Amino acid sequence: MKVITKTEKARTRSKSTQSKRGIKKTENIEFIFLGGLGEIGKNMLVVETDTQLFVIDAGLMFPTDETPGIDLILPDLSYLFKKKDKLAAIFLTHGHEDHIGAVPYILREVKAPVYGSKLTLGLLKAKLEEHRIKAELREVNSRSKVKFQDLKFEFIPQIHSIPDGFAIAIHTPYGIILHTGDFKFDTSPLPGLRVHYERFADLSKKGVKVLLSDSTNADESGITPPERVVAERLKEIFVRAKGKVIVASFASHIHRIQNIFDAAKNTGRLVAVSGRSMRQSMQVALETGHLKIDERQLIDINQISSFPSHQICILCTGSQGEPLSALALIASREHRHIQIEEGDTVIIAASPIPGNERRVSSIINSLLKLGAEVIYPKEYGVHVSGHASQEELKLMINMVKPEYFVPVHGEFRHLIRHAKLAEEAGVKKENILTLENGNSFVLSRDGVSIGKKVEAGVMYVDGLRIGDIGQAILRDRENLSKGGIVFVVVAIDEFTRRIVYGPDIISRGLVLNEDLLEDAKERLTKKINQIISEEEIVDLALLRKRINDSVSGFIFDKTRKRPMVIPFVFEV
């Protein structure tokens, strides 16, 4: 990975421009949101000039109960792919999945250098290797300034729930655009971290035209508690725990993982890790120096039965209730190496993302039934957010003093609340732009104006298939999960036009008793014979439709369920 520093500035140019002399001054700069507005996840911003195009973050969302069978949800990348010849660079604010997860799918179609911090690029590199993609990765640090023609991208360190995050200031001919990335102003930061207040104040002096600011916690009053609070709480829990301690956390929350190892070492516990993503993130963080542990403290997961329970800590995935995660397997007694015993302590060191509450609650209930003590954020303070609350958001606005304000990264309620905070902090109401995915704004010598609207839906990843999964397929899957499926098999003699086999009715995922099945077959036989007798030529397609309607209606009348009905009608 090439390191970009202040003394070695990257001066990447289009092929037609090899020197500063002759560069055409940018007329309009358009900022197009392809994801991250009105939702938590798949953050993606396109910055487009007359000749070049840049991407800031390209994230994903994980599937919910409303997207059965889907593996990942990406922003709609069609706008980017239509203009792929203009793509000059991809900039990443930090290494969370909702900011880097879609990058491999972009680099499948188009090549461009990717700029990010050491940890961010380390996490991305592991993903690219899985996808067998080679990419040009350019490492930036707090002194880096990357120039493309008359745009300059400056990187300002931010404190978040993953190390090595940045805000990005875009210096343009018409003023500075500041994208905060995900951040909080930690009042008691962990060693080696600090808020760069002076950098933001310096930008304010130069003139910030537009501030794009993280809205995730815009409806949370006060300030976000520091990570030190969790570190102290974990130590207390480890000291009083009698059996095994099992901690589920985000794999990317390196600060939290460090705190867990520190608490385990403080109480003489060995640590075993369960979950592929957790092991992968830890390996990257160890290589980049962001995780510092005594490797003698680590044991393999299949060795835990060789030690007393009070000497064991297990770090695992599954804080969001993911069905096949380590914690879910533990809760269902299906984990090959980990069994809950009376007196074990399970810590869920993360708050559920909206939509995951039910799954997390189910796992908590299962663990309690098995005899574990379960400790989770709402009651025990074992998690703090990595996002700024209201007072910090107002502080950012007051420091930067932007002329225009755009709330980003949040559900619509967060964006609206953040817009009100900006107005309270002194931004003119008419200069606050509350946008949605597909919206854009334009920066030019005349100021800031609303730009064009583009297609900004989603692309589904379903196994090896990408982007060709429609709503109709999702509806079918949802219907199957709720109503089951019914097969109807009928064979008709093409000469005598009599039923020679069936109708046979077979159900899966729907309980139909014998009496109901016999009643359905009898009614269906009469219906088929009636259709055959009324038609000179039997249209098999029409017959299948009428069988479908008849069986669907009958089953709904009797069960109030709507299964998917698939008729197989043959002439023999």
**Residue-wise pLDDT tens digits, 32-81:** 999 999 998 999 999 999 999 999 999 998 765 554 456 688 999 999 99
Helix H segments across 466-571? 471-483, 514-534, 540-559
Asked if the model's pLDDT at residue 15 lies above 50, the reply is no
Are residues 215 and 200 located together in one domain of the fold? yes
Instruction: Round to whole Å and give the CA distance between 138 and 503.
Output: 66
Residue 400 lies in a domain: yes
| Residue 103, φ and ψ in degrees, nearest 5 | -60, -45
Asked if the model's pLDDT at residue 207 lies above 90, the reply is yes
Instruction: Round to whole Å and give the CA distance between 318 and 340.
Output: 15
Q: Are strands 53-58 and 87-91 parallel, antiparallel or unpaired?
A: parallel
Q: Are strands 87-91 and 114-116 parallel, antiparallel or unpaired?
A: parallel
* Residue-number span of the structural domain to which 242 is assigned: 227-378
Looking at residue 361, what is its pLDDT? 92
Residue 517 lies in a domain: yes
Asked if 260 and 233 count as a contact pair (C-beta separation under 8 A), the reply is: no
Q: What is the token pair recorded at 288? A: 């980049």
Q: What is the largest CA-CA distance in the chain?
A: 92
pTM as predicted: 0.79
Residue 200 lies in a domain: yes
Looking at residue 69, what is its pLDDT? 53
Are residues 134 and 198 located together in one domain of the fold? yes
Which of the four pLDDT bands, split at 50, 70 and 90, describes residue 473? low
Of 361, 378, 395, the position where a domain reaches its end is 378
Give me the CATH number covering residue 530.
3.10.20.580
Residue 297 lies in a domain: yes
Measured torsion, CA atoms of residues 286, 287, 290, 291, in degrees rounded to the nearest 10: 10
Residue 309 lies in a domain: yes
Are residues 195 and 285 located together in one domain of the fold? no
- What DSSP element (H or E) covers 412? helix 412-424
Looking at residue 111, what is its pLDDT? 94
Of 403, 437, 466, the position where a domain reaches its end is 466
Give me the CATH number covering residue 108.
3.60.15.10
- Using CA atoms, how far residue 191 sits from 194, 195, 255, 258, 268, in Å, is 8, 12, 10, 12, 23
* CA-CA-CA-CA torsion sign (506, 510, 511, 514): negative
Residue 263 lies in a domain: yes
Looking at residue 145, what is its pLDDT? 95
Side by side, the strands of the sheet bearing 564-571 are 499-508, 485-492, 564-571
> Residues of the chain with pLDDT > 90: what percent?
65
Are residues 257 and 353 located together in one domain of the fold? yes
At 386-414, the pLDDT tens digits run 999 999 999 999 999 999 999 999 999 99
Mean pLDDT of 124-141: 94
The CB density around residue 81, as the number of other CB atoms within 10 Å, is 12
The CB density around residue 44, as the number of other CB atoms within 10 Å, is 29
**Length, in residues, of the chain:** 572
Are residues 190 and 300 located together in one domain of the fold? no
Looking at residue 159, the DSSP 8-state letter turns out to be: B
Which of the four pLDDT bands, split at 50, 70 and 90, describes residue 2? low
Looking at residue 511, what is its pLDDT? 66
Asked if 308 and 336 count as a contact pair (C-beta separation under 8 A), the reply is: no
Are residues 64 and 48 located together in one domain of the fold? yes
Of 378, 406, 428, the position where a domain reaches its end is 378
Are residues 345 and 309 located together in one domain of the fold? yes
Asked if 405 and 448 count as a contact pair (C-beta separation under 8 A), the reply is: no
Are residues 62 and 195 located together in one domain of the fold? yes
Instruction: Round to whole Å and give the CA distance between 565 and 556.
Output: 12
Rg (CA), the chain: 29
Q: Who has greater pLDDT, 6 or 104? A: 104
- Using CA atoms, how far residue 376 sits from 79, 324, 345, 352, 545, in Å, is 42, 20, 11, 10, 52
Mean pLDDT of 504-530: 79
Looking at residue 468, what is its pLDDT? 53
Are residues 199 and 103 located together in one domain of the fold? yes
At 216-252, the pLDDT tens digits run 999 999 999 999 999 999 999 999 999 999 999 999 9
At 427, the amino acid letter reads: V
At 449-471, the pLDDT tens digits run 999 999 888 887 755 456 555 55
Instruction: Round to whole Å and give the CA distance between 460 and 108.
Output: 15
> Residues of the chain with pLDDT > 70: what percent?
88
Residue 14 lies in a domain: no
Mean pLDDT of 14-26: 46
Residue 330 lies in a domain: yes
Number of domains into which the chain is organized = 3
Asked if the model's pLDDT at residue 303 lies above 80, the reply is yes
Q: Side-chain half-sphere of 222: how many Cα atoms within 13 Å? A: 6
Give me the CATH number covering residue 250.
3.40.50.10710
Instruction: Determine the 3-state secondary structure of 71 from DSSP.
Output: coil
Mean pLDDT of 514-541: 76
At 156-198, the pLDDT tens digits run 999 999 999 999 999 999 999 999 999 999 888 877 888 999 9
Are residues 237 and 268 located together in one domain of the fold? yes
Which residues form the catalytic set? 214, 387
Residue 2 region, left (φ>0) first, then alpha (ψ -120 to 50), else beta?
beta
- Using CA atoms, how far residue 447 sits from 104, 441, 442, in Å, is 35, 10, 8
Are residues 62 and 180 located together in one domain of the fold? yes
Of the given ranges (175-189, 258-272, 485-499), which has the lowest mean pLDDT?
Answer: 485-499
Q: What angle separates helix 118-130 from helix 276-288, to the nearest 10 degrees?
A: 140
10 Å CB burial of residue 337 (0-12, 13-18, 19+) is middle
Are residues 373 and 391 located together in one domain of the fold? no
Looking at residue 18, what is its pLDDT? 38
Asked if the model's pLDDT at residue 525 lies above 50, the reply is yes
Looking at residue 21, what is its pLDDT? 38
Asked if 279 and 257 count as a contact pair (C-beta separation under 8 A), the reply is: no
